[in-house]
Amino acid sequence: MIKTKKITILGLGSWGYALTMVLHDKGHLINVWEYDKERLKRLEKDRKFDLIQGTEIPENIFLTNDIQEACLGSDLVVFAVPSHGIRSVAKLLKDKNIKPKRILSVAKGLEYETLFSMTEVVADELGYPNADIYALSGPTHAEEVSRKIFTTVVIAGEDELVLKELQEVFAIDYFRVYISQDLRGVELGGAIKNVIAIATGIADGLNLGDNTKAAIITRGLAEISRLGKLSGAKPETFYGLSGLGDLAVTCISQHSRNRYFGEQLGRGRKYQDILNEMKMVAEGVSAAKSIYKLAGEYNVEMPIVREVYNIVYYNKDPKVAVVDLMGRSLKEEES
């Protein structure tokens, strides 16, 4: 049995909380860093987690706004902040001269300016070799993990021995962990699926039915695989947990923020109005911009991503976008 670890979670959003509970149930010592001081005071006082109904924060989980205090003596630092906050948190570590022994990113997305994955952003800011930073991904809704509903994930990185150690750190009866050495593929699948989920949500908002949704998921997976292969990922990765698995759950679940965002677009609501009412981030909004840019750099045809990008950033009518997708020139399925 693996020995108890001291683990720091950076970010107490829904996913940060869910992983905190997994690690707590496994018997590890957990420090959680939360940037919002006022929210932290409320959480410390009543120990009730505010983003998932009916959940609590055990007394032996240490909460702090001091990132140095949070990371002191940690065996593992987990980046659980939204993708747009990854670089700023990594910079905070650098400015405080905090040098984690091992880093795991659980955020999904690409940085628009650099087109770096989340592990690449952390490595770039901290000056670490990419090989020293790992990623966890897969079909995971925090609401279900928090209720200990059976879930499977994949942890990716370069060193197989470290992967096996991290596998043991997280694995518990309701949270099964696989490992992969295709870090590029695992991170790319997790980023693009959010864009495809917006597309399936748009279909829901337009009341287009199950046939349409199945087509978007299937052809969306083809787009993910096409871009992934050209950017150095293994094609088979996209048929695993971080590809098809994550794509499916994000496109069909009522928990999915990206699907919900797309549904509201399909009903005719405006981008900013939807975001203003949402308590949590829909990562596919920023990902659409980044993936569209990355597809252009590789000269990859990604029509679903393109139409989502045009709807979100150029107010294209979703009904027109569907007509344009259906009216494209006919071709073989494999192309």
Which residues are tagged catalytic?
193
> Do residues 228 and 247 touch, judged by C-beta distance below 8 A?
no
Token pair recorded at residue 133: 């930073």
**Backbone phi and psi for residue 133, each to the nearest 5 degrees, phi listed first:** -125, 135
Running DSSP on this structure, what letter comes out for residue 239? G
Alpha-carbon dihedral angle through residues 69, 70, 76, 79, given to the nearest 10 degrees: -130
CA dist 307 and 314 (Å) reads 10
- Which ranges in 140-182 belong to alpha helices (H)? 142-146, 160-170
Residue of 98, 10, 11 lying closest to 280 (CA atoms)? 11
Burial status of residue 207 (CB atoms within 10 A of its CB: 0-12, 13-18, 19 or more): exposed
The owner of tokens 């959480």 is 43
Query: CB burial class (10 A; 0-12, 13-18, 19+) of residue 173?
Result: exposed
Rounded to an integer, what distance in angstroms lies between the CA atom of residue 212 and that of residue 134?
36
The secondary structure of 34-50 as a DSSP string is -S-HHHHHHHHHH-B-S
Q: What is the CA radius of gyration of the chain?
A: 20
Burial classification of residue 129, based on how many CB atoms lie within 10 Å of its CB (0-12 exposed, 13-18 middle, 19 or more buried): exposed
Interacting residues of 149 by C-beta distance below 8 A, sequence separation 6+: 174
